Every structure is written in C-alpha cells, then in structure tokens.
Amino acid sequence: MRLIEQLQRLYCLPEQTGYVLSPGAVADGTRHRLSATDLEAGPAGEASVALDLTSPDGRVRALVIEFARSAHWPQAAALCQGLSDDLELPTPAVAVGGPAGYQLWLSLAEPLPLAMARDFLQALRQKYLADVPAATLRLYPGEGNACPRLPPAALDNGGWTAFIDPTMGAMFADETWLPMAPNADKQADMLATLGSIKTGDFQRALAQLQAAVPAADHPPIAAPAASASAAKAGLQLGGDFSDPKDFLLALMNDAAAPAAARVEAAKALLPYFHAPKA
C-alpha cells in the first residue's frame, strides 16, 4: 500500500515497535515490532497503531506535537509557519486526531539522540507555544513512555483521524476528525510531498532556537573555560576536539551539560549555521 510506504519513509525507525490496539484502547503491556501488515490495520479501520518513537539505543526518527483543543489551531498554524519561514525546515504533516485535536508530525532524515529531540521540542514550545497550557499540549517523545496514535485510524466515536491539508485546519474547529474513512491514495499523495529534516539543518535550527532563549531564563555562567580542553574536562564530554566548532556542537547537544553553557554554545554556533537576514 502506497500510504504505508510513505508512513514508513517519514516516521518509522528501521525496526519500528509499538502497539496495535482497538479504537479507544489504552496502550499497555509489551510493545512488539510493527510489520507493514500491522501498519495497514489503521487505514483499514481494524485497529489503532501507536508508535514507539524511541529506538532501543535511544534514537528518534519522528517528533509529534499534539494539541488537545481545537481552539489552539492558530498556535499550531503559527508553529507550522515558523518551522518553514523562521527555521527553514520542511513543513510538518498536519493531522486531525479526534479527541486529541490536532497533531503535527515532523520527520527526521536519520535517527537522532533522544535528548536532542526533546531539546528541540522544548525549544519549539518555548518560542511558539508559550501561551498553550501544558495540560492541553503533548510532546512526543516526552519524559514518559506514551506513544502517539498514527493517522489514519478509526475512532471509537465513529469518526476518523487523518492527515489534512494545513490550509484547511480551521475548518475542523468544531470536530477534529473526519466523519468517514479518508481515501488512502489521497493520504499517500499528501505525505509524498513532504520532506524530512536533514541532520545538519536540525542542528542549525536547534542552535538558532536555543540562542533565542533570553539569558535571564538561565543561571549565569561562573566563568568561561580557558580552552576547549579545559571545558571538556569540566563537562566530561566524550571525544577529542581539535576543532572548536565540533566541541561547541557536542556541548550544545549534551543533555548532561548545564543549560547556560549549552545556550552559550548555541549562540557561538549560530553564525556558522544561519546567516543574518538582510
């Protein structure tokens, strides 16, 4: 099925695991490897497929931002625009998710470390979604083990989740689902137009987002390191760094490093990845 091929191209890990559930069921128990046949259960209306976005070695290929209220479509649309215009990244897929409201699905060209993915989601939230209450927003992968439901799939209210044209998002303000099963070929055509975020672009965008965080949001740095070697020793980064830019990238993406040090590294890297706009 073309739709399954597109879902695997954009969002699935090499050995994707997750759950195959009846509509409305809670994901619990042991996750198992999902085959193409398992993924087909969603579009067929036979089950709901929940994807485990993190591989056993702690890497991620897809990011999902879920809005529980349809009233937050303006913020979801603004985030889509920001990803494209501000960060110069591929447009995410937009889905109506039934009771979940809206979902934004971001695809990564290659699996990246979980900590980096979470940093990116939190930075997006701080920049574009600060006015969305935490109780109505869910980021995947998050701190827990929750798995997002993959569209399209049947809902227990008789409706369907589905990917939609982003320009039609406001039309679902009253009911964030389709009344009938979407056409699988049209869903595939929609996904076929989408690209994945390349690793270099992801790192550049993350540096740009973290550099934009106000300094007041972070504790001050006591004193700058005398050299990359000294900083490496204090921060316990792995690897040998003869190139300062390589060291700064490692520091920026090190979840164990102090937040203030990571922000300063992102600021220093920004000119290498994002030229000033005229």
The DSSP annotation for 147-165 comes to -PBPSSEE-TTS-EEEEE-
pLDDT of residue 239: 53
What pLDDT, on a 0 to 100 scale, did the predictor assign at position 222? 35
Q: What pLDDT is stored for residue 223 in this prediction?
A: 34
The whole-number pLDDT of residue 113 equals: 97
Integer Cα distance of 87 and 204 in angstroms: 8
Query: Hunting for tokens 């980064």 — which residue is that?
Result: 237
Question: Model's pTM, two decimal places?
Answer: 0.78
Structure tokens at 115: 């900590």
pLDDT digits (tens, 9 = 90+) for 245-272: 666 777 777 766 777 777 777 777 776 6
Residue 138 has pLDDT above 60, yes or no: yes
pLDDT class of 37 with cuts at 50, 70, 90? very high
3-state secondary structure of 20: strand
